[in-house]
Structures are given as structure tokens and as C-alpha cells.
Amino acid sequence: MKFKLIYPRWSKLFTQTEFHLPPHGPVVFAASLPEYVEVDFIDENLQEIDFDDPVDFVGISMMLTIQIKRGWEIADIYRKKGIKVIFGGISTMLHAEETMNHADSVFLGEAEGRMEAVFSDFQNNRLKKKYDYLEDHPPIEIVGTARRDILQRDLYNYRGIQMVDLFHASRGCRFNCYPCAVAYLGGRKFRPRPIEKSIQELESIDNNRLFIVDNSLAQDEEWEKDLFREMIPLKKKWCSHPIQDKPEVLDLAAQAGAWYVYQAVFDTSDYIRERIKRYHDHGILVEGTILLGMDNHTEEDIKRLIDFLLEIQLDLAEFTVLTPFPHTPAFRELHQDKRILSYDWDDYSADKVVFQPKHMAPEKLQELLKYAWDTFYHDEPQPVKMFKLFQHVIEKEKADNTYRPRKRDLANYAFGKKIR
Ligand code: SF4
């Protein structure tokens, strides 16, 4: 059976350097499909959909809220042709009711152990309108190695440099942060995969550079240390969300190949300053994720925060504005207080102000977002900082003889005419 799995396109943040990472949700999902299903994967960010290509069944996998309107359009085209469409993925779960208007079926939750039944229903013409497993997580032990073979790997590069592969070692998160939907999507219980399964998957990835996409590795210190210990012999280099902030953990992380971490920087405290320093002391770079427009942010606070980021020498920073995605505490509160200004999901790109900030006009926050990008990257533009990030990983790879020169030499990329 030919199953076309589509990942709808979206626009990158207005100031962000344009590059594309191989998607993770679709390759994890594909591993749960019955063997008789032949998957034809299309990442619409990089490939065109051939709507005339004969196909039995279409799946639309959506991660971001800004993918959903395009996902609906694609489904409408196929359904007009009489081809059935099923939706899944994170933003399907966040926008399930609306998505059902464009779907033959929506799948909510984690796919492992469920797809035999769904595909059998499809073949017997009894597909359900909704499969809801949001609160019924499959045993974490059955999560298999992602099907990266469905990707057209050569498409995922930045100026000739191969992009990282995405991998996950756990699901769920113990926390329930204000702007985040993970508690709704993956539950409040941290669910680590068995370490041997994670290592098996890591060994199968033909790429030395990875992005460990777990919500936060800083959830179970013993598990985290065991994982890092087992990763050391693999000599992979990786970035991730935060790591437990203890010298012993950071030391093991560095030995296991930690390259850089994404770290939320929400204030100008000594706690943050010292945390960033500890990462740096262990040879781990830091990309700050900076959310502007929280209720405690005045214009002055935001300007001070940007100066602080330069003082603590963050290696990269990504600025976004608070965006009230459905099923987050932020959405519940702002919706209830009638502070949401737009419910057009195409505006939910995290670089457009869609709510009424507490201490300023929406236009002022929009202006401050631009100010943040311009100021942080004024003396050293983003491509230069990215070059330094790549230079750092190359140094690490050279140190343990894992460096494999890419198609295009990094020096050409940096010092030729490539940086604009
Ligand atoms: S922001 Fe991170 S730590 Fe907070 S709930 Fe979401 S995934 Fe968990």
C-alpha cells in the first residue's frame, strides 16, 4: 500500500538564517507503521507535492501551529480527489477539533503499537474520525529506531554542511511552564527510553552530529549520567535542550560529546550568569532562547536583558515573542482575560505579537523584538556566530579523530564571499 506522508511547509522566523533540519516526528511515526506500508515522505519545505502521483492513503504530519492551515489546504485537495487523509503530530493534537473539518481521521497521541489497527480500519473502510490516545501512552520500551531512510538526506544541508540528525531518548516532562504545551502533549511524567535502545538507535545513525530533541534532559540525574556514560564511546557530537546544572553531569556530558545547549534566559540574575559560565567552563556552547513579552517585562527590562546576553557572551540567541499556543497555561490565561488579539494560526509564528502585552502596546513589543535581533547581532552577525559554532564542533571532532570534511570546506564558507 502506498502511503504518502506529508510535512507541510511554513515560513521561517523573519530574521532567522534559513536552513532546514530533517524532521523528527514523521520518522518516529514511520517506525510504527505496519511492514506492508510503503512510505513516500515529502517535506514540503524542500520538495514539491505531486498531487497527481497515484497514492492509496495520505498522512499529514504537523509539528507547528503555522503548518496547520497549509496542512488543511493539502488535505482538501486530496479529499476532493476521493483520497482519504489522516492527520497526526503535535499541532494536530493542539488543533484537533478544527483539523477534523479537513480530515477523514485525526490521530491524537503517540503512534507506537496503534498503527496496525488504524491501517486495518482504513483497509476495511471503517476508519474512525478520531483516534484519541492522548492520555494513554504506549510503553516507552516499544519506541523503535526512527525510520530516517524515508528522508532524502542530501536536501538537509546548510551551504554544503550536513545538518544534524534528530534523536530522542525520552518523552514527557515533569514541569508545566507557562508558554509550553508539553504537559498536555506528553504528560507530566518523565518517560526515559531504555538506555540500550537509545544507544542502539544512536549507533544506527550515519551522522556524527545530532540534535537530542528531548524536552529537557535535566529530569532524572542518574538516568542522565548513565546515558552520557554509555554515549562516550560513540564519539557523537550533539546539541540539546538544558542539561542538569551540576559539574559532575556537565563533565560527563562534555565527554559524551555535548557541543551546545539551548538554554532559556529569562532574567539577568547571577543564577543565569553562573549557569552559562559553567557550560562554557566545560567547553559547551550556549544558544539562548529568549522569550519577550512576559507580564513582568517592561521596555527597560527587555533592553537590559539584551545587554546582559552580550555581557555573558552567549554564543547564539534566538528571540521570539510570547505566543499563546492552545493547551498552554499562557493560552488559558490570556484567552480568559480577553488579551488575545488574533486567532489566525498563520500569525502564530512566534515572531508576531498576537496578544496584548501587560506593560506596552503590541507594536512596541514588535519593535523590541527587532531591536533584540539587531542589537545582539550588531557587532558579530549571525552567520559569523554560526561559523564559530561549527568551528567549535570541528575542533572537538579533530581532537578525537572523528572529523569528516564536508562537501564544502568550512574556511571557504566563512572567509570567502559567503557571509552576507
Ligand atoms: S518549557 Fe521545557 S521544562 Fe518547561 S514544561 Fe515545556 S518542556 Fe518542560
pLDDT band at 13 (very low <50, low <70, confident <90, very high): low
> Per the domain annotation, does 407 fall within a domain?
no
State whether 98 and 154 are in the same domain. no
- Residue 420 in domain: no
Query: Partners of 318 in the beta sheet?
Result: 289
Closest protein CA for atom 2 of ligand 1 = 215
Of 136, 170, 189, which one is at a domain's C-terminal end? 136
* Within a domain: 412: no
| 132 and 146 fall within a common domain | no
Number of domains the chain is built from: 2
Judgement on whether residues 108 and 145 belong to the same structural domain of the protein: no
Q: What would the 3-class secondary structure string for 8-31 be? A: CCCCCCCCCCCCCCCCCHHHHHHC
Ligand 1 centre to CA of 217 (Å) is: 10
At 236-263, the pLDDT tens digits run: 999 999 999 899 999 999 999 999 999 9
Q: Does the structure show a pLDDT above 90 at 412?
A: no
Average pLDDT (74-101) is 98
Above 50 in pLDDT, residue 418?
no
pTM of the model: 0.93
- Ligand 1 centroid to Cα of residue 9, in Å, is 25
All 3 cell numbers of residue 174?
515533569
149 and 35 inside one domain: no
Q: Average pLDDT over the chain, rounded to whole? A: 94
Within 8 A by CB and 6+ apart from 100, the residues are 106, 129, 130
Same domain? 116 vs 149: no
Is residue 384's pLDDT more than 60? yes
Q: Which residues line ligand 1 (CB under 6 A)?
A: 173, 175-177, 180, 182-183, 215-216
Q: What is the CATH number of the domain that holds 295?
A: 3.80.30
**Contact yes or no for 157/45 (Cβ under 8 A):** no
> Is the Cβ–Cβ distance between 279 and 250 less than 8 Å?
yes
Q: Quickly state the pLDDT bin for 1 (edges 50, 70, 90).
A: very high
Indicate whether 414 belongs to any domain: no
pLDDT in tens, 50-60: 999 999 999 99
| Beta carbons of 321 and 350 less than 8 angstroms apart | yes
| CA–CA dist 268, 138 (Å, integer) | 41
Q: Name the residue at shortest CA distance from atom 7 of ligand 1.
A: 215
CA-to-CA distance for 213 and 216, rounded, in angstroms? 8
Q: 241 C-alpha vs ligand 1 centroid, how far in Å? A: 10
Given this model, what pLDDT does residue 239 score? 98
Phi/psi of residue 94, each to 5°?
-75, -25
Ligand 1 centre to CA of 410 (Å) is 34
Q: What average pLDDT does range 264-284 have in this prediction?
A: 96
pLDDT value at 113 more than 70: yes
Question: Per the domain annotation, does 232 fall within a domain?
Answer: yes
Average pLDDT value for residue range 77-90? 98
Please state, as a whole number, how many other Cβ atoms lie within 10 Å of the Cβ of residue 103.
Answer: 25
DSSP state of 236: -
For strands 170-171 and 191-192, give the pairing. Answer: antiparallel
- Same domain as 126, residue 174: no
**Domain contains 368:** yes
Has residue 33 got a pLDDT over 80?
Answer: yes
Residues 57 and 148 in one domain: no
Distance CA 284, CA 254 (A): 7
Whether 413 maps to a domain, the answer reads no
Q: Which three cell numbers stand for residue 401?
A: 579523530
Under a CB-based contact definition with an 8 Å cutoff, are residues 304 and 290 in contact? no
Instruction: Report the run of H or E that residue 287 belongs to, with start and end.
Output: strand 285-292
92 and 213 housed in the same domain: no
Same-domain status, 239 and 302: yes
Strands 209-212 and 191-192: unpaired
Report the percentage of the chain scoring pLDDT > 70.
95
Say how many Å lie between the CA of residue 182 and the centre of ligand 1: 6
Domain edge (last residue) among 116, 136, 156: 136
Q: Please say if the pLDDT value at position 407 is more than 90.
A: no
Q: What is the pLDDT of residue 161?
A: 77
What pLDDT score does 163 carry?
Answer: 87
In a domain, 404, yes or no: no
Question: What is the reported pLDDT for 377?
Answer: 97
Pocket test for ligand 1, best of 180, 289, 294, 331 (most atoms within 8 A of CB): 180
Give the domain CATH number at 112.
Answer: 3.40.50
Model confidence at 316: pLDDT above 60: yes
Q: Are residues 106 and 152 in the same domain?
A: no
How many whole angstroms separate alpha carbon 42 and alpha carbon 50?
Answer: 9
Q: Which domain holds residue 298?
A: 141-399
171 and 239 assigned to the same domain: yes
**Within this chain, do residues 87 and 180 fall inside the same structural domain, yes or no?**
no
